Amino acid sequence: MKINVSNRVAVSFVISGVLLIGTSVQANVQENQEKQQRKQQRKAEQQQTAEKADKQQQQTQSAQKQANKQQRQQQAQAAQQQQQSQQQSQAAQKQAHKQQRQQAAQQQSQAAQQQSQAAQQQQQQKQANKQQRQQETQAAQQQQQSEAAQKQANKQQRQQETQAAQQQQQSQTAQRQVNRQQRVEQQQQRESQYREQLSQQQRLTQQRTSQLQQQRRMAQYRYQQQYLQRLQQIRLQNARYYNTNRNQYFYAASNYRYSRGGTYYETNQYGANLLRQAVNYGYEQGFRSGQADREDRWNSSYQDSYAYQDANYGYSGYYVDQGDYNYYFREGFRRGYEDGFGSRHQYGSYSNGRYSILGAVLSVVLNLESLR
């Protein structure tokens, strides 16, 4: 039994040794195979690298040969071009020399012609200078004759102008005298007409006063009494002013014109100022009359006012026709009455105790045009 066990143990050891040796041998064989494979792989890679290098070297040599061939061709072409350029330059230079010789010959010929022309021009200039001196001598003689004739003509013209000025002065003097006489006659007619109308207005005043008292329009009655009182004062002032300035008015030239009823009328500074005064007085009296009717609680009716019907406030028969003064007074009166009755200032303003029409409205109503 002990022998069998020992044998078994020995066999086990032998088998284990064999297995161990077999495994070791197999590992060595496998390792050798891997080394051999790696060696072959490196060899293949080196062979591929060498082949690539040879291929690249062949390509490089081929490219170099091609470049050398192209360079030789370019050098040959450059040499040909240089030769052609030299030939062309020589030909051009020869042509330039030929042209220079021709130009020099032409210039010499032209210089000779110019010298000949210059000599001809000098001869012609001498002849022209001679003719010019002759013309200047003739011109000087003609100028002297012309100056003498001009002096004579100027003398005659001054004499004629002096005569014309004297005649014009005489004509103006005569015209001023005629204008003065016309204005004197016209003024006399105005004064006569104005005096005739005064008597008629006095009768109208009495009727209007009685009517207002009957209607118990006390505010309008007081306004009318103030109007009549102020009217007398203004007539006296105008008479004194007219007596002081009558000669200046008669001789003052017309320098304005105005239109009424489609007809133009001319007047001087005195007449223009009086027409402006008519509009302003009309506005002021219209405003006061409108206020009175509003205080009396009377219906608005500027045409019913005595001042509107009279329209002579500020007029004394001087400078302009009574009809013109009455017309512009009523134009101002109507606008003033509307403002006074309506308690407003649409057409005028109030300052220092007086009502006056606006300048823009005055210009539209009167529309004076300067003749100068």
> CA–CA separation, 212 vs 205, rounded Å?
11
pLDDT at 153: 84
Tens of pLDDT along 139-168?
878 888 888 888 888 888 888 886 776 777
Q: Are 206 and 225 in contact (CB under 8 A)?
A: no
The pair of three-digit structure tokens given for residue 180, joined into one six-digit string: 């003065």
Buried/exposed 231-258: b ≥16 CB within 10 Å, e otherwise: beebbeebeeebeeeeeebbebeeebeb
pLDDT at 331: 97
Q: What DSSP character marks residue 351?
A: E
Q: Is it the case that residue 94 has pLDDT exceeding 80? A: yes
Sequence-ordered list of residues with C-beta below 8 angstroms from that of 370, at least 6 positions apart, any chain:
255, 256
CB atoms within 10 A of CB 190: 19
Among 92-106, 182-196, 344-358, the minimum mean pLDDT is found in: 182-196
Q: Is it the case that residue 2 has pLDDT exceeding 60? A: no
The pair of three-digit structure tokens given for residue 226, joined into one six-digit string: 């103030």
Q: Is it the case that residue 176 has pLDDT exceeding 90? A: no
Query: Quick one: which H or E segment has residue 112?
Result: helix 2-215
**CA dihedral (316, 319, 323, 329) positive or negative:** negative
Residue count of the chain: 372
- Position 63, amino acid: A
Q: Is it the case that residue 326 has pLDDT exceeding 90? A: yes
Q: Is it the case that residue 56 has pLDDT exceeding 90? A: no
Cα 1 to chain centroid distance, Å, stands at 147
In the chain, what percentage of residues exceed pLDDT 90? 30
pLDDT at 256: 93
Q: Is it the case that residue 66 has pLDDT exceeding 60? A: yes
User: pLDDT tier at 318 (50, 70, 90 boundaries)?
Assistant: confident
Among 5-14, 67-76, 360-369, the minimum mean pLDDT is found in: 5-14
**The overall pTM is greater than 0.75:** no
Of 303, 335, 322, the C-alpha closest to 200 is 322
Between residues 8 and 175, the one the model is more confident about: 8
Q: Hey, is 364 helix, strand or coil?
A: helix
Tens of pLDDT along 215-265?
999 999 999 999 999 988 888 887 777 676 666 777 778 899 998 888 999
Q: Is it the case that residue 3 has pLDDT exceeding 60? A: no
Q: Are 309 and 211 in contact (CB under 8 A)?
A: no
pLDDT at 4: 64
Using CA atoms, how far residue 214 sits from 205, 208, 220, 221, in Å, is 14, 10, 12, 10
> CA–CA separation, 331 vs 64, rounded Å?
121
Of 254, 264, 262, 261, the C-alpha closest to 370 is 254
> CA 158, 164, 165, 170: dihedral to nearest 10 degrees?
150
Q: For the chain, what is the largest distance between any 2 Cα atoms, rounded to a whole number of angstroms? A: 199
User: pLDDT tier at 138 (50, 70, 90 boundaries)?
Assistant: confident
